[in-house]
Structure 1
Amino acid sequence: MKPSALAEGNVNELNPYVQGFYAAQPEEVTKTDLEVIGELPTDLWGAYVRNGPNPFEVPDVPHHWFDGEGMVHSIYFENGKAEYRNRYVLSDDNVADMKGDGAEARGVLVPSNRDRPNKVYKDTANTDLVLHDGKLMALWYISGTPVRLDARTLETLGNEDFGGKLPRNVSAHGKIDPETGEFLFFDYSLYEPWMSFGVVSPKSELTHFAKIDLPGPRLPHDMGFTENYVILHDLPVVFTESGLRNGMWQIKTEQRGARFGVVPRNGTNDDVKWFETDPCYLYHVANSWEEGDEVVMVACRMVPNNFDPDPAHGQFASMVNVMALHAYAWEWRMNMKTGEITSRQLDDRLSEFPAINQDYAGRKTRYSYHVAMAHERLQRFEGLIKYDLETGEKQEYLFEDGQGGSEPVFAPRTGAKDEDDGYVITFVTHTETGESEVLILDAKKFADGPIARIPLPSRVPAGFHATWADGDKIAA
């Protein structure tokens, strides 16, 4: 289905993030026994699932890309066959919007509603996904209510509050420890000087929660974890004074360094060890681990995109510039004995949305798979990069001209023998025709490109984060 432009006169007429490659795909589709071009591996079992914003209706107020109702796209593999589904995530705010009762929940480009308990903006559950306790959880950018989904059918099962013990919300980027099955998460307040972190058992029981004091309100986006620690981010990007006063999403960069707080997974505010480093912002962590006395974190460090606001985007010009994520792969090492921190840039190629073999999360990994960011004003993934974190080498695969991709996942081969014994999977969509397909690459022969392509019956718009759901965990 080819997307069309908005009707003339719509308040979002100059907003590129509701048109073309970014426009909603309103139909929910199920298609089994998909056509395969090439050879679909028979040792690939599980689901590649990706979340993203998908407005239920054409917005009639200024719209931020983050405001769209969550929609999950999935392709499930088993016995050399593939099936596709996409479904809306039925968060409370999404359901209210669909019923026309969503006036209390507002997007980030209009004045917020501070009268709502525990939430200020519309909780769309459109940002990330994790597989925990045999089910998916859809998570939201600004911290919201986790929404459980069936990992095979994508049907919404209901909100998750961990037995009624969730103190408030869960941030977009919680983590699963593959060794323990625990879910690690953080939360933060838009207007108060604190953040928090929690640990949830494999059976969805909250087992630990701690509040961490900060000098002021912060806007962190991700976290790291290792076998024994969590890594929290205190970064110099905050609300402006007028934004705080007027309840608007207006942010600024403060003239100070960044801090990473390393705290034992069962620790409290008194146990945090802060490491101060150069001013920076990072959206996404690839992985973290312990190495001798050091805690190591690999992430994507933002760099200026140097774009001037484009008058062609009208009131949306500032949003467009902020959404042009330009970042480099970076490494930080924090010495728990000396308190020293060192960092180094791993590559000068723009890359973001990193993925690893999740079976190794929180432990030392050699490989990280990133999207190659196009140096363009609009956010578009133009290819994939495989980094060897030990040798510094990289391999790159670029999509065909006119295509934009999605965050990849690493899918271990059934009976995998080592870390990169498996497949890298992503959605790609032609930005003009809307034709979408799934690409499957052999991780050990990454630069050779796809070993299989699967045309999809539905357009997959640009979106956010993805995860791999192992077939045996879904079945369990």
Structure 2
Amino acid sequence: MADDIGVRRRIETGELNALNALNPYLQGLYEPVARETTALELPVIGKIPSDLHGAFLRNGPNPAVAPAGMHHWFDGDGMVHAVYFENGRAEYRNRWIRTADYVAERAGQDIGAGGVMLPSARARPDNRRGELVYKDTANTDLVFHNGSLMALWYIAGKPVRIDARTLETLGGESFGGALPRHVSAHGKVDPRTGEFCFFDYSLYEPWMTFGVVSADNRLTNFQKVELPGPRLPHDMGLTGNYIILHDLPVVFTDSGLRNSRWQIRIADQPARFGIVPRNGRGDQVRWFETDSCYIYHVINAWEDGDEVVMTACMMTPNGYPPNPGYGPYAAMVNVLALHAVPVEWRMNLRTGAVTKRQLDDRIGEFPVVNLDMTGVKTRWSYHVSMAPEELQRFDGLYKYDLGTGQAQTWRFSPGVGGSEPAFAPRIGATSEDDGYVIVFTTDPEGKSEVQVLAARDFEAGPIARIPLPVRVPAGFHGTWAPGDLMAAER
């Protein structure tokens, strides 16, 4: 679109060097936008329901300056895109997340750390924040807690507080100075207690941690869990009483550990799920072994009698060989071609048994549920459908029945890429799926819109489409922030 410089021109002007001209995750659907935008009067195709009140927000990478060296898609500065709904109207905003590293770089300082395709800066000049060996971007996840957002980073950085209404960065979050280390992406908020439960991990040391923050932002528990070696978990589960930690067989290579490089391998070992009382000690974790696998994203978890149940998207081989046409980015492209199916695990706390049930064979990821049902048994979840191609493009949405494994489908138009959706409960909702599914989409010409679907009439498609004045690049995770809770804190 007119506001963005095309990749060819960026190469001609020298803004994008020849090395990164081979990087598909800096082009097309993934090309970063150049500026922050506020649009208060948005057109609507159809009708925005009057009982939709709150904000749909999504995080993702958006380099503020064109990369000079090797660049992984995960390295970009975090940017939040948001649409706020009230009284049948909508507003759009996007803002960079002003992490400490973002602010320092924009001020011309050398932070002493780069991205994951470069050697990690294990001795970076400012390492007071712990083992922060890559640039901290807060670009991965968003969690609504205590009336505002926290932007989180998958390698585990410092949470960044953001105003959910204006997207103004409020500052780094240390829970009153009590946070000993970091917080990874994909912590969970218990809607019944308001507690934020999280985990953290060490890149090079054989342990991970978990913690609990109260509804009024006090760190009430923080525990270290010993492991057989360094691990790279990405998510966790949460039930009414337990946190579920992941010890999975994707680890650094010996060379990666020696040379401080992000080089990973699949180890010959089972997957383990560690169940621990959320207010328990690190030595109280009870491990359950199951078939070797990797999990990026949990759907939900709950307790059922003696069993702890966890549903998640389990990775399977994607079938794509590395494409030499992407040069040094071939391995990155191959790993990013997510190929996962929904699976249910049941761990019996009385017998120690683990059972596993694949719910469906359709390829999907980035699952979300009604956040009011986090930690309790859910029937419905909403996933993106993965396009059958090398690059990570979401070509539609699934609404899953987690009991039967059956799914309803909504496909975007050909060539369109979507985002992780969010479920927004209708004001006065009376059941789990009484509400709306909201998603960003971008077409091959760079035109973006927001689609609002009625969850109970999912396959009928959008009841409202909201064209946006700027392009929304592909990105990562989002959330729904209820309007009444946002208003209460402003």
Q: TM-score range by the shorter chain?
A: over 0.9
In the alignment, which of 357, 366, 383 is matched to residue 396 of structure 2? 383
Q: Give yes or no for contact 2:359–2:404 (8 Å, CA) kept in 1.
A: no
Residue of structure 2 in register with 1:11 after alignment: 19
Residue of structure 2 in register with 1:450 after alignment: 462
**Residue 319 (structure 2) pairs with residue 306 (structure 1):** yes
Q: Give yes or no for contact 1:3–1:19 (8 Å, CA) kept in 2.
A: no
In the alignment, which of 277, 281, 290 is matched to residue 294 of structure 2? 281
Map Cα deviations across residues 387-410 of structure 1 (whole Å, 9 max, x no partner): 011233210000001100000000
In the alignment, which of 343, 346, 358 is matched to residue 371 of structure 2? 358
**Residue 93 (structure 2) pairs with residue 59 (structure 1):** no
**Which has the larger displacement, 93-102 or 352-361?**
93-102
**Which has the larger displacement, 219-228 or 112-121?**
112-121
In the alignment, which of 93, 96, 105 is matched to residue 101 of structure 2? 93
**Which has the larger displacement, 101-110 or 77-86?**
101-110
Q: Distance in 2 between matches of 1:120 and 1:379?
A: 26
In the alignment, which of 21, 34, 49 is matched to residue 26 of structure 1? 34
Residue of structure 2 in register with 1:260 after alignment: 273
Q: Distance in 1 between matches of 2:470 and 2:106?
A: 21
Residue of structure 2 in register with 1:128 after alignment: 141
Cα distance, 1:458 vs. partner?
1.0
Q: Distance in 2 between matches of 1:72 and 1:243?
A: 32
Structure 1 runs of 4+ with >4 Å offset: none
In the alignment, which of 243, 262, 278 is matched to residue 230 of structure 1? 243
In the alignment, which of 422, 425, 444 is matched to residue 412 of structure 1? 425
Cα distance, 1:10 vs. partner?
2.7
**Which has the larger displacement, 332-341 or 89-98?**
89-98
Q: Distance in 2 between matches of 1:244 and 1:333?
A: 34
Cα distance, 1:3 vs. partner?
5.8
Cα distance, 1:20 vs. partner?
1.1
Q: Distance in 1 between matches of 2:472 and 2:457?
A: 26
SS at match of 1:131: strand
The amino acid across from 2:250 in the alignment is: V
Q: Where do 5+ consecutive residues of structure 1 fail to align?
A: none
In the alignment, which of 29, 43, 46 is matched to residue 35 of structure 1? 43
Over the residues paired in the alignment, what is the CA RMSD in angstroms?
0.9
The amino acid across from 2:413 in the alignment is: E
SS at match of 1:11: helix
In the alignment, which of 162, 184, 190 is matched to residue 171 of structure 1? 184
What is the number of residues matched between the two proteins? 475
Q: Distance in 2 between matches of 1:446 and 1:3?
A: 36
Percent identity between matched residues is 64
Residue of structure 2 in register with 1:465 after alignment: 477
Q: Distance in 1 between matches of 2:282 and 2:483?
A: 39
Q: Distance in 1 between matches of 2:140 and 2:404?
A: 32
The amino acid across from 1:60 in the alignment is: A
Map Cα deviations across residues 310-340 of structure 1 (whole Å, 9 max, x no partner): 1110001001100111100110000010000
In the alignment, which of 285, 303, 306 is matched to residue 272 of structure 1? 285
Residue of structure 1 in register with 2:210 after alignment: 197
Q: Give yes or no for contact 1:3–1:23 (8 Å, CA) kept in 2.
A: no
Q: Give yes or no for contact 1:93–1:105 (8 Å, CA) kept in 2.
A: no
Cα distance, 1:4 vs. partner?
1.7
Map Cα deviations across residues 225-257 of structure 1 (whole Å, 9 max, x no partner): 100000000000000111111111100000111
SS at match of 1:12: helix
SS at match of 2:262: coil
Q: Give yes or no for contact 2:140–2:476 (8 Å, CA) kept in 1.
A: yes
Map Cα deviations across residues 51-77 of structure 1 (whole Å, 9 max, x no partner): 000000110110000110000000000
Map Cα deviations across residues 203-239 of structure 1 (whole Å, 9 max, x no partner): 1100011110100000000000100000000000000
Cα distance, 1:39 vs. partner?
1.0
Q: Give yes or no for contact 1:3–1:434 (8 Å, CA) kept in 2.
A: no
SS at match of 2:456: helix
Q: Where do 5+ consecutive residues of structure 2 fail to align?
A: none
**Residue 85 (structure 2) pairs with residue 77 (structure 1):** yes
In the alignment, which of 243, 256, 259 is matched to residue 246 of structure 1? 259
Q: Give yes or no for contact 2:142–2:152 (8 Å, CA) kept in 1.
A: yes
Cα distance, 1:19 vs. partner?
1.0
Cα distance, 1:103 vs. partner?
4.4
Q: Distance in 2 between matches of 1:274 and 1:413?
A: 39
Q: Give yes or no for contact 1:3–1:20 (8 Å, CA) kept in 2.
A: no
SS at match of 1:330: strand
SS at match of 1:416: coil
Q: Distance in 2 between matches of 1:210 and 1:59?
A: 37
Q: Distance in 2 between matches of 1:392 and 1:189?
A: 36
Cα distance, 1:97 vs. partner?
2.3
SS at match of 1:364: coil
Q: Distance in 2 between matches of 1:328 and 1:100?
A: 44
Q: Distance in 2 between matches of 1:62 and 1:290?
A: 45
Map Cα deviations across residues 125-166 of structure 1 (whole Å, 9 max, x no partner): 000000111010000010000000001000000000001010
Q: Give yes or no for contact 2:340–2:363 (8 Å, CA) kept in 1.
A: yes
Q: Distance in 2 between matches of 1:103 and 1:10?
A: 25
TM-score, length basis structure 1: 0.99
Q: Give yes or no for contact 2:360–2:406 (8 Å, CA) kept in 1.
A: no
**Which has the larger displacement, 411-420 or 261-270?**
261-270
Map Cα deviations across residues 341-395 of structure 1 (whole Å, 9 max, x no partner): 0001111100100000000100000000000011110000000000011233210
**Residue 144 (structure 2) pairs with residue 148 (structure 1):** no
Q: Distance in 1 between matches of 2:437 and 2:249?
A: 34
SS at match of 2:69: coil
In the alignment, which of 406, 412, 418 is matched to residue 393 of structure 1? 406
Cα distance, 1:101 vs. partner?
1.8
